[in-house]
Amino acid sequence: MKTLNINLGVTEYPVIIDSGMLDDFDKMFNYIGQNKPLYFIVDSFIERNYQFRAASRKYNFSVYVLDGGKNNKNFNSAMKIFQDLDDKNISRDVAIVAVGGGVVGDLSGFIASCWYRGVELISIPTTLLSAVDSCLGGKTAINFRNTVNAIGSYHHPKMILIDTKVINSLPKREISSGYGEIIKYGMIGSEGIREKLMQLNVDCTTDLEELICLSLKQKEAYVCGDVSEQSNRLFLNFGHTIGHAIEFSTVYEGEEVLRHGEGVALGMLAIFRICIHLEYLNEEDISTLRAIIEKLGLPVAFSASSIGMSRDALIDSITSLAFKDKKRTSKNLRLVILDKIGSPTLYETKDEELIKLGVAEVITE
Model confidence at 331: pLDDT above 90: no
pLDDT (tens digit, 9 = 90+) per residue, 303-314?
A: 999 999 999 999
Q: Which of 70, 155, 259, 260 is catalytic?
A: 260
117 is catalytic: yes
Contact of 295 with 234, CB cutoff 8 Å? no
Check 47, 120, 174, 229 and give the catalytic one.
229
* Active-site residue (options: 155, 184, 233, 259): 233
CATH of 2-170 given 3.40.50.300, 3.40.50.1970, 3.20.20.370, 3.30.70.870: 3.40.50.1970
328 is catalytic: no
Active-site residue, from 73, 156, 240, 259: 240
Whose CA is closest to 263, among 329, 345, 186, 184? 184
Residue among 57, 58, 117, 145 flagged as catalytic: 117
Cα distances (Å, whole numbers) of residue 5 to 2, 100, 104, 131, 153: 10, 22, 23, 15, 23
Task: Give the separation between CA 256 and CA 73, rounded to whole angstroms.
Answer: 13
Supply the pLDDT for residue 329.
Answer: 64
Cα–Cα dist 302/362, whole Å: 6
Q: What does the alpha-carbon distance between residue 334 and residue 347 come to, in Å, rounded to a whole number?
A: 6
Average pLDDT, integer, range 108-132: 98
Mean per-residue pLDDT, 25-54: 97
> Catalytic annotation on 139?
yes
Q: 202-206, 211-215, 282-286: which has the minimum mean pLDDT?
A: 202-206
- Tell me the average pLDDT across 339-352: 96
Among residues 143, 237, 259, 361, the one annotated as catalytic is 237
Annotated catalytic, 244? yes
* 18, 161 Cβ separation under 8 angstroms: yes
Does the annotation mark 156 as catalytic? Answer: no
- The residue annotated as part of the active site, out of 219, 259, 273, 290, is 219
pLDDT at 327: 64
Q: What is the longest distance spanned by two Cα atoms in the chain?
A: 62
- CA pair distance 341, 354, nearest whole angstrom: 20
Going by pLDDT thresholds of 50, 70 and 90, the confidence category of residue 17 is very high
Share of the chain above pLDDT 70, in %: 99
Q: Tell me if residue 277 is catalytic.
A: no
219 is catalytic: yes
230-242 pLDDT, tens digit each: 999 999 999 999 9
d(CA 85, CA 3): 32
Average pLDDT over residues 201-221: 89
Catalytic residue among 70, 156, 194, 244: 244
Instruction: Assess whether pLDDT exceeds 70 at residue 328.
Output: no
The mean pLDDT value of the chain amounts to 95
Is 206 a residue whose pLDDT tops 80?
A: no
How does pLDDT run across 49-85, given as a tens digit for each residue?
999 999 999 999 999 999 998 889 999 999 999 999 9
Per-residue confidence band for 330, with pLDDT thresholds at 50, 70 and 90: low
> Is 92 one of the catalytic residues?
no
Q: What is the DSSP string of 61-110?
A: -EEEEE--SGGGSSHHHHHHHHHHHHHTT--TT-EEEEEESHHHHHHHHH
Fold of 179-203+210-361: Dehydroquinate synthase-like, alpha domain (1.20.1090)
Residue 233 designated active-site: yes
pLDDT value at residue 145: 87
The pLDDT of 270-290, averaged and rounded, is 98
- Residues 283, 277, 340, CA angle at the centre, nearest 5°? 60
The residues of the chain that CATH labels 3.40.50.1970 are 2-170
Domain with CATH 1.20.1090.10 in the chain: 179-203+210-361
